[in-house]
Amino acid sequence: MASISLRKLVKKFGELTVIPDLDLEIPDREFVVLVGPSGCGKSTLLRILAGLETIDGGEVMIGEERVNGVPAAKRDIAMVFQDYALYPHMTVRQNMAFALENKGADKAEIERRITEASRLLDIGDYLDRRPKALSGGQRQRVAMGRAIVRDPKVFLFDEPLSNLDAKLRAAVRAEIKALAQKIRTTMVFVTHDQIEAMTMADRIVVMKAGVIQQVGKPEEIYERPVNMFVAGFIGSPAMNFFPVTVEGDDLRLQTGDTVPGHAVPGFATLSAGQDRQIVLGIRPEHLDGAGEGKGEGVPITVDLVEPLGSDTLIHFTLGDVAAIARVSPDLRLAPGDRVSLVPAPGKARLFDAESGKAIQ
Amino acid sequence: MRARSFSVPWFTVLNVIQLTIAGIVVITPTLWMVLSSFKPSFEVTAYPPTLIFSPTLENYASLSQTTPFLHYAFNSVLVTVSSTLIGILLGAPAAFVVSWTRITWPAIVSLVARMAPGTLFLLPWYVMFRHFDMIGSYWSLILTHAVITLPIVLWVMLPFFDGIPRSVIEAAQIDGCGPIKIFRRIAVPLVSTGIAVASILAFVFSWNYFLFALVLSNAQTKTLVAASFNFIGEGATNWGGLMAAATLIALPPLILAVVVQRWLVSGLTLGAVKG
Ligand SMILES: Nc1ncnc2c1ncn2[C@@H]1O[C@H](COP(=O)(O)OP(=O)(O)O)[C@@H](O)[C@H]1O
Ligand SMILES: [Mg+2]
């Protein structure tokens, strides 16, 4: 158990600066998910925490200790790798015992911890098998087991679910979350999958090109994204972005339709006629289908219908923007149908088109 | 089966022909050597070679009477095993470091050294060992033969170490291992096939190497291969004795190769560790 703090962190690979300048505080016992598109430097950041990569500037603190030059072996952290990285020549039991043996734990203690961890993860039945004889899901569990028995200061996970099939992934996601709540150790979990981030995190760190975009609780990130990147990255299907202009008390869309300003947070800070490009961001789930000709909402024509069972996604085009709305399946919409969409009050976001920053 | 026999591609036929030729080239002299070693002296050089003869062990018997054959064999084993061991003990860690750090120049240097003709080293070594009064010592042979084995071990082991996923080594680092422990507990067990292959190749090359032993050994420390030279020249060559000696000398590498051939082939073709 330990807090983590990164201060003015710089990481380069030769000429390539992967992390230009990064600050991050992770309190003790928090489950933090680092999320961002592939190649944004998440793994690099995690490996820096692990001591597997050197840094080119700044400070890495684990607990009260400055660990800049401390090798991975001395950091007392555990890591679950994307490919699990189990020792192929060792049985599951030996895999789990290895780190404890290195620490010089006694036999009885090692046995006790393995028993406990294997009960927690339900891997007791194949303790004497080699990794080769296990399925992907089982290997994943063993990798977790190998981390748990350590009782480390910090757990690091590098996309541990990406090699599992979709169904298993959802199940393991829930398990890891339950596990995290049980063991309550500081955990840093890296993923490019925003659903994993939303479902598991105490706090989410959204990264892009080595720069932290936003840090916050999942609902904060979802409800109040600080910029268009975060807004578009978190949430599925992604937020729709419509260019708008301010007209009196309304926002005018490219098509000439208007959205009442009072329903949009941040509208009050805008003044009419401003020479500023503004983008209205609305999530698909915040567009309600109101049926045709009720006088309110924005009329659109349905291009494509994707029934999900509980909801239906309708694809439409507004001006030159392709957009999606998540509506009730009871509307029974078909391609070509006309429908009016009403933004849920208080849910839309405004962004400065140029900087991408949210207008609060 | 019938359908197949009609569709044998032309290159399969070519392959068979190639292999047959290669087989004849390799097997004929070997066979000739082995057969001759069992022939009475007068028949060895008979032309055309006799295929039917009454086999005799006289050549083998004469070997141990006319030469300290067993002593030479002991020398060969001592030098070969020692130089192979040195090759493994130094070459395997070196290969691991080269593979992990991807600093390849030591491997290149060793390869160049290995490819250079042995005569290049011979004179400086001779001068050096003479200076230390080590000519004729086992150490001079073992050390020079280690120069044969080390690059072999390094280069044979390299792809095996490359085959270990980096994350496995990193996992061991995170699990609290220093470099030496990682090498012993993780890397070595994962490349055991490679070590076997490297040992065998190093053994065979060292066993067969002739030049250094010829120059740096004396009557006491001569290896078998160097000693077999005694049978040639000095008036009449003892062909029967030479054939018997050659057969015995060729035996250890041959036996090794046959025993481990499947291992050897799979080991040479892929060094990957499958998780
Ligand atoms: N060892 C390395 N050498 C050079 N470049 C690297 C190395 N590791 C990662 N990179 C580069 O750093 C960037 C970030 O990589 P990474 O941290 O793996 O991203 P992510 O995990 O977010 O997908 C990428 O552009 C990648 O190509
Ligand atoms: Mg990654």
| pLDDT tens, position by position, A145-166 | 999 999 999 999 999 999 888 8
Lowest pLDDT segment from A206-215, A253-262, A307-316, B109-118: B109-118
Q: Is B195 helix (H, G, I), strand (E, B) or coil?
A: helix
- Out of A77, A83, A103, whose CB is closest to B174? A77
Domain boundaries, given as residue ranges, for chain B: 59-274
CB B186 within 8 A of CB B171: no
Residue B116 confidence (pLDDT)? 85
For residue A186, what are the β-bridge partners?
Answer: A154
Token representation of residue B40: 């009475």
Residue B35 confidence (pLDDT)? 87
Q: Ligand 1: residues within 6 Å at CB?
A: A 13, 16, 18, 36, 38-44
Lowest pLDDT segment from A315-324, B3-12, B185-194: B3-12
| pLDDT tens, position by position, B69-112 | 889 999 999 999 999 999 999 999 999 999 999 988 888 888 88
CA of A40 from ligand 1 middle (Å) equals 8
Domain boundaries, given as residue ranges, for chain A: 4-233, 240-359
Confidence of residue A297 (pLDDT cuts 50, 70, 90): confident
Token representation of residue B45: 């050089």
- CA-nearest residue of chain B to A139? B275
Q: Inspect the interface and report whether the beta carbons of B275 and A132 lie closer than 8 Å.
A: yes
Share of chain A above pLDDT 70, in %: 98
Region B200-226: mean pLDDT is 90
Sign of the torsion formed by the C-alpha atoms of B207, B211, B214 and B220: negative
Q: Domain A4-233: what homologous superfamily?
A: P-loop containing nucleotide triphosphate hydrolases (3.40.50.300)
Q: Would you call the peptide bond into B48 cis, given omega within 30 degrees of 0 as the criterion? A: yes
Sign of the torsion formed by the C-alpha atoms of A303, A308, A312 and A313: negative
Within 8 A by CB and 6+ apart from B77, the residues are none
Name the residue with the closest Cα to ligand 1, atom 21: A43
Whether A52 has its CB under 8 Å from any CB of chain B: the answer is yes
Q: Inspect the interface and report whether the beta carbons of A85 and B176 lie closer than 8 Å.
A: no
Whether A85 has its CB under 8 Å from any CB of chain B: the answer is yes
Tell me which residues have their CB within 5 A of the ion that is ligand 2: A 43
Amino acid letter, residue A175: E
* Burial class, B238, CB count within 10 angstroms (exposed 0-12 / middle 13-18 / buried 19+): buried
Q: Which ligand has the nearest atom to the CA of A45?
A: 1
Q: What are phi and psi of A63, to 5 degrees?
A: 65, -135
Q: Is A225 helix (H, G, I), strand (E, B) or coil?
A: coil
Residue A293 confidence (pLDDT)? 53
CB A88 within 8 A of CB A51: no
Distance CA A238, CA A232 (A): 5
Has domain A240-359 been given CATH number 2.40.50.140?
Answer: yes
Q: Which has the higher per-residue pLDDT, B4 or A117? A: A117
- Do A4-233 and A240-359 have matching folds? no
Distance CA B220, CA A331 (A): 101
Q: How far is B240 from chain A (nearest CA, A)?
A: 51
Residue A277 above 80 pLDDT? Answer: yes
Q: Which ligand has the nearest atom to the CA of A37?
A: 1
Distance CA B246, CA B234 (A): 18
Q: Inspect the interface and report whether the beta carbons of B174 and A78 lie closer than 8 Å.
A: yes
CB B116 within 8 A of CB B181: no
| Most confident of the following: A114-128, A264-278, B101-115 | A114-128
Q: Look up the CATH architecture of domain B59-274.
A: Orthogonal Bundle (1.10)
The complex scores an ipTM of: 0.90
Residue B233 confidence (pLDDT)? 57
| pLDDT tens, position by position, A197-248 | 999 999 999 999 999 999 999 999 999 999 999 999 999 899 999 999 988 8
Cβ contacts of B102 on chain A, cutoff 8 Å = none
Q: What are phi and psi of A336, to 5 degrees?
A: 95, -20
Q: Inspect the interface and report whether the beta carbons of B167 and A50 lie closer than 8 Å.
A: no
Residue A168 above 70 pLDDT? Answer: yes
| pLDDT tens, position by position, A23-75 | 999 999 999 999 999 999 999 999 999 999 999 999 999 999 999 999 999 99
Calculate the alpha carbon distances from A28 to A31, A33, A100, A151, B125 in Å.
9, 14, 23, 14, 64
Chain B contact residues (CB < 8 Å to A)? 165, 167-168, 170-178, 181, 185-186, 189-190, 273-275
CA of A228 from ligand 1 middle (Å) equals 24
Confidence of residue A139 (pLDDT cuts 50, 70, 90): very high
Question: Can you tell me which atom of ligand 1 is nearest the CA of A44?
Answer: 17
